[in-house]
Structure 1
């Protein structure tokens, strides 16, 4: 699942890119491999020679190369892996990328409520296998810049056509996934936050028989007793308790929330200003006890929920939504530092943005394998490291002869961090993005040095 070599990973991800010339695809592979090896570094810093630098800039400036063509190659590589799994969560979310370089800023749109902000938006879909606990990869991403002259048009949101709104991105993402995955789409469950609670989107997913879990944004009208979803949920009998780990900011230990579970079949009515039949769905509620400001999830899903076990399964799916937020961290602040890019045009910038998105997804794969401590302690480190690589890491970190028993994946995760100078100062056992990748790259360098020395000894 995880390619140990940057060169192998880059080839698997980008070698099939349709860029009009096979030489461009080969250059893309080299460029992606170099950037992956030197995480967060510029084109110049990541290149291995002056010729590499010049070739990298020619690639990004080539107007015949389209950013979406680069992305499609990466999506194809992800799609080829889905047959390994019986169930996949399509974790979706939108983020903004803000750039400070003035030349590029002039081509950007506003990104926040501040009309002076400049950048682009990206809606990404990350596939995750819940049974195997694997981050599989990116399967879709839409990037766009807002028209500055239309700043403030949200005031006219209700009067605009559905397909002209940014919220149409949720349906577009599902259409793109379905095209790429074909019959495999039946095993995919879209997991979305409150922004996706759009009646057109819910209708589309239901009509297309696509699976989903969406957190409710509002107490919608339903045909069941009580007429309003949230009030109706309060009348439902508790199906039992569930302890939910609520993630805290700043790397602090997660808070435990004791919640009541409720579920029911509901029929969501169309809003008064829209036409159409009610949408048949299932409802799953998870509310923290004795807390007015505590955790409160109201989920709408296509998954049949007729028992506590099925309700727990839907809640477990939604609990993995934070992984798309972690991908954004790997892409932005914690890993590839995409917002630090300095390019001369929006087109050049977008090519780099796409390449770094797939590098961030790869980094996310590696980090999640280690973060899931319980599972990582039961898995062999040879899942990500060759026998020689982990033995060299052992000799470097443990200062002793490698054992006959292969150490755990969690041991590798911790010691890759330590190799790059990480110390568990917060006592949370979480290696940061940068330190993990620096340790990974340092080990690859040690491995290459060992193999070179061995080959020289053979020659002598």
Structure 2
């Protein structure tokens, strides 16, 4: 299912600047009962059981349009104790998922004009940078304070080095509201420099180069008036950065990583309640998670397109033979008032979003349809489409 979805995404990326956001999330499915059913440990302490899902999504760097799924890996930690992590090759660790998703993006999105894979601190792995495919750039939030080689030939720690750089620029951004956090305007200070991190020693991959060339972009909040922790991102990238404008673009690209958090929220609570699924067999649950992952991406595409501002075509999320079914449904679902008419052009994703929302119970009068409405509508649409394929004979 994930492979088919990735092939559909590949059809949409030709000639476009693509960013790929990837991350991992734990799916907590229970305690003792889940353990008895064969689910492995997740969460802190190992008292809860479940699965892990690693997903990668493709977005258009220019329009922010969600183009589809690139990769999805679901697994169960059902094995016993393993050898210490430092003595194992990356291919034998769960951290291989970051490298595998990057390789998948390279292959599946090869017709894109450019590919930038974005991920959080857990993916700050030397081998991730050293073995990146030639057609992929990386943007990672730094986790390790590595040793770097300076132009003078001396060595230093990368965090202290960047902290000592003069500010290159300041700019303001709007930090959107979130649970427990009000919207605010933040003033950010920008620093950047090329760096040469050294290969970790000891390490399980002695064939890696002794040093790699990266750029660090440091951005930190300098005018915080709120009670929470101020923003401070140290970003490592393979992109060449020569100006404050280019460094600012790196920061803006990293902010797109939030899309993968939105994806997991939709999967777990906003659209599906996947952790409430009462499936006792891990292998069956893995297949269900894969199917829900594909559906969640479509739901997000519909929610984003509902206002008609993205100008995406229907084929960004649907098959070409879905269009006549959607158009027939639209004419049936429209009411007598202006608000109950589909306002979007045929062939657009916004047109489809209106139909799916109406099938999901939206009246077209109050509020905007969210993920749960879109999920219900998408399920109804698929049943209707299946019905159109039946050829019943008299019996």
Q: TM-score band (shorter)?
A: 0.7 to 0.9
Q: Residue by residue, what CA displacement relative to the aligned partner does 1:83-126 show, whole Å, maximum 9, x if unpaired?
A: 2x411111000011122494786221001113221111111111
Q: Residue by residue, what CA displacement relative to the aligned partner does 1:148-185 show, whole Å, maximum 9, x if unpaired?
A: 6329x7xx43343332221121112222333434x336
Quick one: structure 1 residues 444 and 277, their matched pair in 2 at CA, closer, same or farther if it must change by over 3 Å?
closer
1:220 to 146, 154, 157: 146
3-state SS, counterpart of residue 131 of structure 2: helix
**Match of residue 285 from structure 1:** 218
Q: C-alpha separation between the residues in 2 aligned to 1:239 and 1:208?
A: 30
Matches within 5 A, 1:178-197: 178-181=106-109, 183-184=110-111, 187-197=114-124
Deviation (angstroms), 1:300: 0.8
1:420 to 362, 376, 383: 362
Q: C-alpha separation between the residues in 1 aligned to 2:18 and 2:339?
A: 41
Deviation (angstroms), 1:397: 6.6
Deviation (angstroms), 1:269: 1.6
**Match of residue 128 from structure 1:** 59
Quick one: structure 1 residues 421 and 318, their matched pair in 2 at CA, closer, same or farther if it must change by over 3 Å?
same
Matches within 5 A, 1:45-84: 70-83=1-14
Deviation (angstroms), 1:209: 5.3
**Match of residue 56 from structure 1:** none
For the Cα contact (< 8 Å) 2:65–2:310, is it kept in 1? no
1:86 to 13, 16, 21: 16
Quick one: structure 1 residues 283 and 357, their matched pair in 2 at CA, closer, same or farther if it must change by over 3 Å?
same
For the Cα contact (< 8 Å) 1:90–1:128, is it kept in 2? yes
**Match of residue 126 from structure 2:** 199
Q: Residue by residue, what CA displacement relative to the aligned partner does 1:331-370 show, whole Å, maximum 9, x if unpaired?
A: 2212132223233422222222111110001001112234
1:331 aligns with 2:261: no
**Match of residue 393 from structure 2:** none
**Match of residue 371 from structure 2:** 433
3-state SS, counterpart of residue 179 of structure 2: helix
Deviation (angstroms), 1:76: 1.6
Deviation (angstroms), 1:378: 7.6
1:357 aligns with 2:285: no
Give the 4+ runs in structure 1 shifted more than 6 A: 380-394, 400-408, 421-424, 439-446
Matches within 5 A, 1:230-245: 230-245=159-174
Q: C-alpha separation between the residues in 2 aligned to 1:80 and 1:135?
A: 13
TM-score normalised by the chain length of structure 1? 0.67
Deviation (angstroms), 1:329: 1.5
Deviation (angstroms), 1:256: 2.5
3-state SS, counterpart of residue 48 of structure 2: coil
**Match of residue 172 from structure 1:** 100
**Match of residue 455 from structure 1:** none
TM-score normalised by the chain length of structure 2? 0.77
Quick one: structure 1 residues 290 and 346, their matched pair in 2 at CA, closer, same or farther if it must change by over 3 Å?
same
**Match of residue 45 from structure 1:** none
Q: Residue by residue, what CA displacement relative to the aligned partner does 1:242-296 show, whole Å, maximum 9, x if unpaired?
A: 3233344338653322101222211112224245321101121211114593101
For the Cα contact (< 8 Å) 1:420–1:438, is it kept in 2? no
Q: C-alpha separation between the residues in 1 aligned to 2:213 and 2:156?
A: 15
For the Cα contact (< 8 Å) 1:111–1:120, is it kept in 2? yes
Q: CA RMSD in A?
A: 4.0
For the Cα contact (< 8 Å) 1:397–1:419, is it kept in 2? no
3-state SS, counterpart of residue 120 of structure 1: strand
Q: C-alpha separation between the residues in 2 aligned to 1:253 and 1:382?
A: 35
1:96 aligns with 2:26: yes
Higher helix share: 1
Matches within 5 A, 1:360-399: 360-370=296-306, 376-377=308-309, 379=311, 395=335, 398=338
For the Cα contact (< 8 Å) 1:189–1:210, is it kept in 2? yes
Q: C-alpha separation between the residues in 1 aligned to 2:343 and 2:127?
A: 58
Quick one: structure 1 residues 278 and 186, their matched pair in 2 at CA, closer, same or farther if it must change by over 3 Å?
farther
Q: C-alpha separation between the residues in 2 aligned to 1:423 and 1:277?
A: 62
1:143 aligns with 2:86: no
**Of 433-442 and 334-343, the range deviating more from structure 2:** 433-442
Q: C-alpha separation between the residues in 2 aligned to 1:74 and 1:403?
A: 29
Quick one: structure 1 residues 363 and 104, their matched pair in 2 at CA, closer, same or farther if it must change by over 3 Å?
farther
Quick one: structure 1 residues 377 and 171, their matched pair in 2 at CA, closer, same or farther if it must change by over 3 Å?
closer
Q: C-alpha separation between the residues in 1 aligned to 2:5 and 2:344?
A: 38
3-state SS, counterpart of residue 350 of structure 1: helix
Extract unaligned runs of 5+ from structure 2: 318-322, 385-395
1:268 to 176, 191, 197: 197
